[in-house]
A and B are shown apart, each in its own frame.
Chain A
Amino acid sequence: MTGSSKTRWIIVAAILAVGLAIAWSARPQPLTAAEHVDRIAAELRCPVCQGLSVQDSPSETARSMRALVAQRVAEGRTDDEIRAEFQRSYGDWILLSPPLLSPSGLVWLAPLAAVAAGAWLAWRRARGGAPVIAGNGPTAAELQRLRELVASEPE
């Protein structure tokens, strides 16, 4: 069927285009200083807010923290050094997400494990499917169900 193979090529090309667009959008780009400050500020917790980050909070405290981050970035400190400075004053509490390589790194792995385990279970159930229609033909109940199916679907 040539028509079908043509559609197949269109689908492949379209998927390729999506992939290319994503690859293009993910190309490494140099950060401006302001973006660099934003990135660090987004990871720091505003001490006087309800769980807002320093980047998001309009509070006075967050403003001075942003200013300090900007100053440290201008001085050429690394992200780790800047984070460590705030950790010295406020403890791990000041970071809005625990580092991957820490006892609390578990919180990063848990969702991954949940998705993997759930997907595995679901996949096993979907694969374990018995033949759809038994050899004896449909039972009365199945027939009823099919009638409903037909009645409820306009197509």
Chain B
Amino acid sequence: MSWADVGAGALRAAFAVSLWGVGAAAYAAWKRDARALRSARAVAIAAFALVLLADLAMVGALLTHDFSLVYVAENNARETPLFYSAIALWAALAGSILLWTLILAGAVVYVALRGTRSLPRLATVALAVLFAMLSFFLLLVTTAAADPFTRIAADQVPADGNGPNPLLQNHPLMALHPPLLYLGYVLTSIPFAYAIAALVLGETSDRWLTETRKAALASWALLGVGIVAGAWWSYAVLGWGGYWAWDPVENAAIMPWLTATAYLHSVMVEEKRRLLRTWNIALVIATFALTILGTFLTRSGVVNSVHSFTQSAIGPLLLGYFVAILVLGVGLLLYRLNDLTDRGSIGAPLSREAIFLFQNVLFIAAMLTVLLGTLYPLIAEAVSGAQLSIGAPYFDRVEVPIGLALLFLMGLGPQLPWHGASRATLERQFTAPVIAAAGGAIVAVLAGMTGVAPVLTYALAAFVTATVVQEFTRGVRARRTLHLEPLMAAFLALFRRNGRRYGGYVVHLGIVMVVVAIATSQSRTTELERTLGPGDAMDVAGYHVVMTGLRDIAEPQRATTVADLVITGNGASEHLHPGLVQYPNSAQVIGSPGIAAGSRDDIYTILAAYDGTGNAWATIRVRVIPLVSWLWAGGAVVGFGALLAALPPPKRRTILVPAPVADAVGAE
């Protein structure tokens, strides 16, 4: 039996089993039938095991270089190192969908085993929805759309394969970035399935929402960290010294993240005040639908550049799936609209819930801008036949002001009480932050920043940081007086007692780091390009760069030419080796930048061109990029903050509050 037999067989069995799961779960929910539910649970485990088997078969085929499979022949070669052979599972479309299916099967198991115990009826309907999604993905991987186990005719099996796309076998981050994103994408389907279940059952309580809080938080955090990992990968591999290009693939990832961020905040309004219920369901549906839209846009070849060559039959199926999701989600939402009408009302414009509302408006506008910018060239061509581009200049100009406004609200919102704020509260909460903002602006000007956006970013970053610091000091001080705890214990207790709130502040600090890194690296990068002979030098931003020579490095799977650079100055002493890599089965020459990362500056060197005949000269481009490493660190802080926010809350003791006190708390 070959790998293909095992894999294809397992997927077909999984498809049958998954269809049974749809029926069993739906029947169990309809008739409240315990036997059907048990069957659905068993089937969930079976489906997961079968898909896992298929994924392992694919990894096995890659590791053993089984070139009788089209996927292996196209994405693997005998010389591909073990590590890159294994992660070639997600180097191309069919394998990526296979991994996606595995994660989705995992989500099915999670809901089948955990969810159906705490909220039986609701979770069972959600389970049926998830089984239906799983069936759709299994349909993709068992038909021509994305069959990873397509075989090559026995007499045409090549002796060696093409090897992975050179860009995808150049950096270990490739092992991290796609799975993180897929995890984030797939986990959005859990809140979606529950929301659909709540709508189907006419369940007007917000239990579905508390039940899916962890999944929503996890999907948001994984998407965010995955996006940052992707930016880091593109910085370390693509060799242009940037990390974000508003490429359709990047846009596809950021859109669901934007709506998910809006949701994480507006959901608090629903939890605390039972408001915005329709809106929250709409955000859940939008987030999930955007993950599918993004996959459609990037995987169907609709918005690719001229020089990419992947086309697949998967397009129409994904488009149909996307439309079906929208029709189902929006249709049900409209059907239940009257049951979901809010009875209370939002507080004054300067209340926490109103700030959440404005914040949501900005996040949705940011998402719509990305969507419009990505789709507009398609619309224009469909309508008038004109071909045009929308890229960084457009997105930067629109998204930066929106981002700055959001940064401002990020400082404002957490400092405002629910319902509304009095003048005294405003003064108490904002004196220190506003002074900090002035300090941030002055620092930016003294550091020589020019332009409104970077200076405003510094001012707002200081503003937000001050609000977070203020929250922590007040929290710690309160605990120290109330519980007589030592400093560190009080600090840690904040996370233990209210991880969601203080973890959220840590996330905000991570975002501040990211924003400062972006503003600084975008506005203060110094760049110089020179053609040097061996022994020649150039000076960039206080660094002295000497090219000592050019070398050719032959490896079995690739040929590399590197320039050896010695960099001194600003207290640094670095040896860097930017190169150009040629893979035998690709016409593309891949730049491999030499990067010296630092907490202050990154020195980013590129071998732009070299003398191919005698290694007599090389054109070296040096970029000194300040604070860019804060971007990756900020991403990690965001992920860590999300972990803290997911800490289980301690058991609640009921505190009896006399009515007058309750009134006072409510008003504050």
Give B384's nearest chain A residue, CB to CB: A103
Q: Which residues of B contact A (CB under 8 A)?
A: 239-242, 245-248, 272, 304-308, 344-349, 351, 354, 357-358, 360-362, 364-365, 368-369, 372-373, 376, 380, 384, 386-394, 397-398, 402, 418-420, 424, 427, 430-431, 434-435, 437-438, 441-442, 444-445, 449-452, 454-456, 459, 474-475, 478-479, 494, 497-498, 501, 591, 606, 608-609, 621, 649, 652-657, 659, 661-663, 665-667
Cα–Cα distance between A132 and B665 once the two chains are bound (Å): 12
> How many Å from the CB of A36 to the closest CB on chain B?
15
Residue A2 at the chain B interface, CB threshold 8 Å = no
Contact of B655 with A150 in the complex, beta carbons under 8 Å: yes
The answer to whether residues A126 and B240 also contact, given A50-B247, A133-B667, A146-B665 and a CB cut-off of 8 A, is: no
Q: Fill in one digit per residue for A115-155: 1 if any B CB lies within 8 Å of its CB, else 0.
A: 10011011101111110110001100011011111111111
Question: Size of chain A's interface in residues, with CB distance under 8 A?
Answer: 75
A contact residues around B434 at 8 Å (CB): 10-11, 14-15
Q: Which of these, B427, B498, B659, contacts A153 with CB under 8 Å?
A: B498
Contact of A92 with B388 in the complex, beta carbons under 8 Å: yes
Residue A89 at the chain B interface, CB threshold 8 Å = no
Contact of A146 with B393 in the complex, beta carbons under 8 Å: no
A contact residues around B666 at 8 Å (CB): 132-133, 138, 142, 146, 149
Contact of A29 with B450 in the complex, beta carbons under 8 Å: yes
Q: Which of these, A25, A138, A154, contacts B662 with CB under 8 Å?
A: A138
The answer to whether residues A21 and B444 also contact, given A56-B242, A97-B393 and a CB cut-off of 8 A, is: yes
B contact residues around A45 at 8 Å (CB): 389, 391
B contact residues around A56 at 8 Å (CB): 240-242, 245, 392
Contact of A21 with B397 in the complex, beta carbons under 8 Å: no
Cα–Cα distance between A20 and B266 once the two chains are bound (Å): 35
A contact residues around B667 at 8 Å (CB): 132-133
B contact residues around A108 at 8 Å (CB): 394, 398
Contact of B442 with A21 in the complex, beta carbons under 8 Å: yes
Contact of B431 with A11 in the complex, beta carbons under 8 Å: yes
Q: Which of these, B245, B397, B608, B654, contacts A151 with CB under 8 Å?
A: B654
Cα–Cα distance between A155 and B471 once the two chains are bound (Å): 10
Query: Would you list 15 pairs from A and B whose C-beta atoms are within 8 A, ordered by A residue?
Result: A14-B437, A25-B455, A48-B306, A51-B248, A51-B391, A93-B387, A110-B369, A115-B361, A115-B362, A122-B358, A138-B666, A146-B657, A147-B655, A154-B478, A154-B494
B contact residues around A125 at 8 Å (CB): 345-346, 354, 357
Contact of A132 with B420 in the complex, beta carbons under 8 Å: yes
Q: Fill in one digit per residue for A41-85: 1 if any B CB lies within 8 Å of its CB, else 0.
A: 011010111111100111010010000000000000000000000
Q: Which of A10, A56, A97 gathers most chain B CB within 10 Å?
A: A97
A contact residues around B498 at 8 Å (CB): 152-154
